[in-house]
Amino acid sequence: MTDLYRVLGISRRATETEIRSAYRKLARRYHPDVSSSPDANARFAKISEAYRILSDPKKRALYDEGVPLSPRTTYYASRASEVVAYQRKLDKVVDEMIARERQETDARGQAVTIVVTLFISAFFVALAKPLIIEELNLIGRIAVIALSLIGAGYLVKNIRIALSRYTYTVPSRLTSVFHPESASDSDKMISRNAALVFLVCGYIVSLGLGYLISKLAAGPDLAPGTVLGLVLYPPIAVLIIGSFRNIGSFLDRS
């Protein structure tokens, strides 16, 4: 008898979450619409059958006891209609997983784009010390400030989304004692505090490196307009680059 746990690459003590996660990874790899492997159909059929049994607590209990389980129980008028319906169900599940994977990839790309643009723009502003704001008239200055405020709102919004998606909050010691399972979130990559420290330090370091290189190259000294530009220009750069990326992603999906 085929070892269904081995098919999914999990232990016999695997939780429902681990079973579902293993199936998703294998389905994304061996689904016939994705994989070019010649045995993709057969491999995907085995993976689907293993998931069908192990994801059902009753079927899993029977399987663990060694009770033979038929590949598929006939609930429909004909075997052919059952196979078609079952395959459609699996295709829908896999399509949803692939769609979520693409959304997750887009979200990660957006977060990286925002952070990298923020750091690079801060570096170049400190390096070049542009005096654009001082050379504009009143209407131009108002437009720049308004655009910077919009960019700041866009920046804060995206950073909040990234923090909620990829960081976890470390609970207090008292909370950890009574709820040890909440001490960390296994599907998040970094703590909220560590992410905030990275963002603040990265921004400061970018400014510092730009200013240091400018001084070594005998660049212009800081002027009031330059200092103001350190605050105004990076959010504008983030808004522009982020908007272009969103437009590109929208066109790719169209």
The full set of domain ranges for the chain reads 4-71, 103-253
> For 4-71, which CATH class?
mainly alpha
Reduced 3-state DSSP string for 144-158: HHHHHHHHHHHHHHH
CA distance 112 to 175: 32
How many percent of the chain have pLDDT more than 90? 23
Rg (CA), the chain: 27
Sign of the Cα pseudo-torsion (99, 105, 111, 113, in order): negative
Place of tokens 């598929």: 72
DSSP label of 180: G
pLDDT digits (tens, 9 = 90+) for 215-231: 888 766 666 667 788 88
CA distance 243 to 239: 6
Across the range 19-37, mean pLDDT stands at 79
CA distances in angstroms from 74 to 56, 84, 129, listed in the order given: 17, 12, 74
pLDDT digits (tens, 9 = 90+) for 117-169: 999 999 998 888 887 777 888 898 899 999 999 999 999 999 998 888 888 87
b/e for 115-142, b at 16 or more Cβ within 10 A?
bebbbbbbbbbbbebeeebeeeeeeebe
Place of tokens 């209609």: 81
pLDDT digits (tens, 9 = 90+) for 67-116: 877 655 444 444 555 555 656 666 666 666 667 777 777 888 889 999 99
CA distance 67 to 63: 5
Structure tokens at 192: 């909220």
Long-range contacts of 158-163 (CB under 8 A, 24+ apart): 158/110, 158/111, 158/114, 158/238, 158/242, 159/114, 159/199, 161/107, 161/111, 162/107, 162/110, 162/111, 162/114, 162/115, 162/195, 163/192, 163/195, 163/196
pTM here? Answer: 0.60
